[in-house]
Amino acid sequence: MIPIVTPLIGDEEARVLAEVLRSGMLAQGERVNEFEQSFSEYCGVQNSVAVSNGTVALDVALKAVGIQQGDEVITPSFTFIATANSVLFQGAKPVFADVDDKTFTINSNDVVEKITAKTKAIIGVHLFGHPFELKAVQEICEDHHLILIEDAAQAHGAEYNGKKVGSFGIGCFSFYPTKNMTTGEGGMITTSSDSIAETCRLLRNHGQGEKYNHITLGYNYRMTDLEAALGIVQLRKLDGFNEKRIKNADYFNEHLTVSGLNLSYKKDGVKHVYHQYAVTIEDDFPLSRDAFMEYLRDNNIGSAVHYPMPVHKQPLYQQMGYTEENVRCPVATAVAKKIVSLPVHPALQEEDLKYIAETINTVP
């Protein structure tokens, strides 16, 4: 079976993990500092704050900028649920904006429609590794005095007009094993504001300033040195991983010729790092999505649906009173019905790409 995802962990990762184990310094320590510094240099930001996962990165970032009950935060409806849930964790209200029908990232025109007097922040998501419309969203934030959060969980190394994502607003990354680089579990907040970084550092460690002097309510959201040691090595490999993903996507763009399949799209001026290679099944495709995925499975090719429903249709959100009518995100709802991800990860070999393309082009 060609899997939909495979983390690439090599001998170097095993060696550095063994070193940390032997050192006996297992929790947050020097490796975390080193990982944070390398990540800041890579993204071109002043500060990086390592945390225990990407959900925590979003949660801590929103807390650090003071989002609270009564506030509204605009997020796309087509994303992983953690993006919107991070707003709920503050007692605030997620307000859903629709997405672009080609990039599946937040639609800036709809963002403007959804702004109210209560809006405090916008979380854009660089979905599948494609940067969202940063220029337009940044301008909206400036005009309306809103905070810009970039959910970059799926976009390590992606660029917008030559600048790394995570360096425009407050960046929130995930290092879950399916991501473009991994630490097992892990997350990172990037910001060029020293004061926001300082608050994030307090929040991840029991609100502790000086030892046993707790100046705010914090939690234990720390990353371990084991995870950071993995991250240092994976970050060095990230550009190579991404180049391979881009090459694989280019191959599919060139060789998938079957009609009825809308291939992955990339806007000019962005570096798309293909966390996912997502296609949509159109009406003239010979199979339904389910039948297509079954056909792929029968031919030993993994595929997945990211995501089968927009966040506002999740039971949790339905229980809170979100409906299709009051949310008004028709593109998100339509895309969720027809999207499917094909394998694009860097472990794919030349013959895998050829086999996948041939299998799809000869769909019955």
What's the rounded Cα separation, in Å, for the pair 168 and 136?
12
Q: Is 54 in the site for ligand PLP (CB under 6 A)?
A: yes
Binders in 110-149 for ligand PLP, by CB under 6 A: 125
CB of 314 to ligand PLP, least distance (A): 14
> DSSP 3-state assignment of 232?
helix
Q: Is 79 in the site for ligand PLP (CB under 6 A)?
A: yes
Q: Is 78 in the site for ligand PLP (CB under 6 A)?
A: no
# chain residues binding ligand PLP, by CB under 6 A: 14
- For ligand PLP, the binding residue among 153, 197, 235, 348 (CB under 6 A) is 153
Q: Would you call 314 exposed, middle or buried from its count of C-beta atoms within 10 A (0-12, 13-18, 19+)?
A: middle
Nearest-CB residue to ligand PLP?
Answer: 54
- For ligand PLP, the binding residue among 28, 48, 83, 276 (CB under 6 A) is 83
Are the CB atoms for 230 and 16 separated by under 8 Å?
yes
CB of 186 to ligand PLP, least distance (A): 7
CB of 55 to ligand PLP, least distance (A): 3
Residue (of 92, 98, 35) closest to 61 by Cα position: 92
| Number of C-beta neighbours around residue 153 at 10 A | 29
Binders in 176-235 for ligand PLP, by CB under 6 A: 176, 187
Burial 43-52 (b: 16+ CB within 10 A, else e): bebebbbbbb
Residue (of 35, 8, 267, 51) closest to 159 by Cα position: 267
**Piece of 32-40, 80-88, 199-207, 320-328 that binds ligand PLP (CB under 6 A):** 80-88
> DSSP 3-state assignment of 259?
coil
- For ligand PLP, the binding residue among 49, 51, 60, 82 (CB under 6 A) is 82
CB of 86 to ligand PLP, least distance (A): 8
Q: Decide whether 85 or 167 has the Cβ nearer to ligand PLP.
A: 85
> DSSP 3-state assignment of 277?
strand
CB of 257 to ligand PLP, least distance (A): 30
Burial 105-132 (b: 16+ CB within 10 A, else e): bbbbebbeebbeeebbbbbbbbbbbbbb
Q: Is 150 in the site for ligand PLP (CB under 6 A)?
A: no
Q: Would you call 210 exposed, middle or buried from its count of C-beta atoms within 10 A (0-12, 13-18, 19+)?
A: exposed
Q: Is 53 in the site for ligand PLP (CB under 6 A)?
A: yes
**Piece of 2-10, 14-22, 75-83, 346-354 that binds ligand PLP (CB under 6 A):** 75-83
Residue (of 192, 186, 274) closest to 232 by Cα position: 186
Give the footprint of ligand PLP on this chain (CB under 6 A): 53-55, 79-80, 82-83, 125, 151, 153-154, 174, 176, 187
